[in-house]
Structure 1
Amino acid sequence: MTKFMDVHRGMEGITSDQLREAHQADLAIEADEGVHFEHAWADPDSGIVYCLSEAPSADAVQRVHERSGHRADEIHAVPLSV
């Protein structure tokens, strides 16, 4: 499995409760695609949200996000870390 960082744009003003709800929506269905969402971060001023996951593919990550109502604008594999 590969780690992925995805980016969502256009979420200006997002609150911590809204971020938590979106993350929980992903967690509720992640197993259907063999994905595990590890963490999410948001910048309400810029409207950018980042999600870190482990998944079999970027397509699997996108399918979960689409089903939970917040399609990712970008998904990047991050195969190396320190």
Structure 2
Amino acid sequence: MLRVIANEGLKVPFEKQRAFIGSEPVDVPDSLYYRRRLETGELVHVTDDATRKPSASALVADSDAATDKKSGSNAK
């Protein structure tokens, strides 16, 4: 696993999920997709364990829940 954040001013899409990596550190698989994003400077590798944040799968679940709330809030 890699712990990464998006470079300043960027949002980087997760490899197989409908969510983005932002300024909060997340754990992602050590795959070619994320390695390339690190090489291009879109992602920054974070090594400080003190900044432990939810994994990528937890963020996607939160993102899906927020989308469901938004779509249901229009029906009054």
Q: TM-score, normalised by structure 2?
A: 0.32
Q: TM-score, normalised by structure 1?
A: 0.31
Which of the pair has the greater relative contact order for Cα pairs under 8 Å at 6+ separation? 1
Q: Which structure would you say has the larger Rg?
A: 2
